[in-house]
Amino acid sequence: MSRRLDATLLADLWFFHAVAQCGGFRRAAEQLAVTQGAVSQRVQRLEARLQLSLLLRGGRSLQLTPAGQQLFAACDSGFDTVAITLAALQREAAPASVRLAAPPSLALEWLLPRLGRFARLHPEISVDLLADNQPYSPAALRQAGIDLALRYLPQAPQDAAFVLPEYGFPVAAPAFDAVGHSGHSGRLLHDDAPWSTPALAGSEWALWLAAYGRPPGCDAGERHFNQAQLAYRSAQAGDGVALGRQLLVTRYLQDGSLRRLDEHPPLLLGYYALYAVSSGAAVEALMVWLCDELQQL
Q: Residue 84: which domain range? A: 7-93
Prediction pTM value? 0.66
Please tell me whether residue 201 adopts helix, strand or coil conformation.
coil
Task: Examine the domain organization and report whether 103 and 89 are in the same domain.
Answer: no
Q: What per-residue confidence (pLDDT) applies to 59?
A: 64
Q: What per-residue confidence (pLDDT) applies to 1?
A: 46
Q: What per-residue confidence (pLDDT) applies to 181?
A: 45
Quick check: is 170 in a domain? yes
Task: Examine the domain organization and report whether 47 and 139 are in the same domain.
Answer: no
Task: Examine the domain organization and report whether 169 and 78 are in the same domain.
Answer: no
Task: Examine the domain organization and report whether 70 and 215 are in the same domain.
Answer: no
Task: Examine the domain organization and report whether 152 and 235 are in the same domain.
Answer: yes
Reported residue count of the chain is 297
Task: Examine the domain organization and report whether 84 and 166 are in the same domain.
Answer: no
Residues paired with residue 245 on neighbouring β-strands, in sequence order: 168
Quick check: is 62 in a domain? yes
Residues paired with residue 150 on neighbouring β-strands, in sequence order: 274
Residue after which a domain boundary falls, among 93, 128, 159: 93
Quick check: is 36 in a domain? yes
Quick check: is 140 in a domain? yes
261 CB contacts (<8 Å, ≥6 apart)? Answer: 169, 170, 171, 172, 176, 178, 215, 216, 241
Reported as a single tens digit per residue, the pLDDT across 185-199 is 588 999 999 999 988
Please tell me whether residue 197 adopts helix, strand or coil conformation.
coil
Task: Examine the domain organization and report whether 82 and 107 are in the same domain.
Answer: no
Residue 209 maps to which CATH number?
A: 3.40.190.290
Quick check: is 149 in a domain? yes
Quick check: is 279 in a domain? yes
CA 140 to CA 242: how far, in whole Å? 33
Q: What per-residue confidence (pLDDT) applies to 91?
A: 57
Residue after which a domain boundary falls, among 46, 62, 93: 93
User: What's the average pLDDT block by block, 10 residues per block, for the chain (297 residues)?
Assistant: 73 90 88 90 91 82 88 87 74 74 91 91 91 80 87 92 94 76 70 91 95 84 92 93 94 94 92 91 93 83
Q: What per-residue confidence (pLDDT) applies to 92?
A: 60
Reported as a single tens digit per residue, the pLDDT across 155-181 is 999 989 999 999 999 999 998 865 444
Quick check: is 1 in a domain? no
Task: Examine the domain organization and report whether 207 and 270 are in the same domain.
Answer: yes
Task: Examine the domain organization and report whether 149 and 197 are in the same domain.
Answer: yes
Residue 75 maps to which CATH number?
A: 1.10.10.10
Task: Examine the domain organization and report whether 108 and 41 are in the same domain.
Answer: no
Task: Examine the domain organization and report whether 125 and 80 are in the same domain.
Answer: no
Task: Examine the domain organization and report whether 109 and 64 are in the same domain.
Answer: no
Give how many domains the chain has, as a whole number: 2
- Residue 62 sits at the vertex; the CA angle it makes with 56 and 65, to the nearest 5 degrees, is 40
Residue 170's Cβ-count burial label (10 Å; 0-12, 13-18, 19+) is buried
Residue after which a domain boundary falls, among 93, 121, 138: 93
Q: What per-residue confidence (pLDDT) applies to 280?
A: 87
CA 177 to CA 240: how far, in whole Å? 10
CA 274 to CA 287: how far, in whole Å? 8
Contact 165, 295 (CB under 8 A): no
Quick check: is 41 in a domain? yes
